[in-house]
Every structure is written in structure tokens, then in C-alpha cells.
Amino acid sequence: MTATSPAKETILVVDDEASIRRILETRLSMIGYQVVTASDGLEAIETFRRTSPDLVVLDVMMPKLDGYGVCEE
């Protein structure tokens, strides 16, 4: 019988600035989270539906669909 490691909690980081996504992804990964990212609101919704994250870190001012629109969806 082999022991399985517990599933990592997943965080979706959504920001249109690549540097912010990269910093958050690096820091959160270093402390043990699985991180997925999106660069705009539409991509955020698609990624959310595909990955079912435990937490979303969401920028408000983004192209295509802002953070408020993402929350409404």
C-alpha cells in the first residue's frame, strides 16, 4: 500500500500585468500552493471553470472583462 500526498490547494491569480502574475505565482508556489494564472477576465472565467480553484486573487481593472464582471459571472 502506498501513501498518497494530499492534494495541493489551488489558487487562480488573475491580473493583466505579467510581472504581478509572475511574482504572485512564484511566492505562492514557494509556500506550497498550486497556482494557475489568467491575464484577463474572459480567460479567468475559462480557467476557473476548468480548474475549480480553492481561491481566486482577482485584479479589478483588466481588459475584455473587468474583475466585477468576472465576479458577476
The pLDDT tens digits of the residues spanning 6-59 come to 668 999 999 999 999 999 999 999 999 999 999 999 999 999 999 999 999 999
- Compute CA distances 53 → 2, 3, 48, 72, whole Å: 27, 24, 6, 17
Confidence of residue 63 (pLDDT cuts 50, 70, 90): confident
| pTM of model > 0.75 | yes
> Is residue 56 within 8 Å of 41, Cβ to Cβ?
no
In this predicted structure, what is the pLDDT of residue 1?
A: 46
In this predicted structure, what is the pLDDT of residue 57?
A: 97
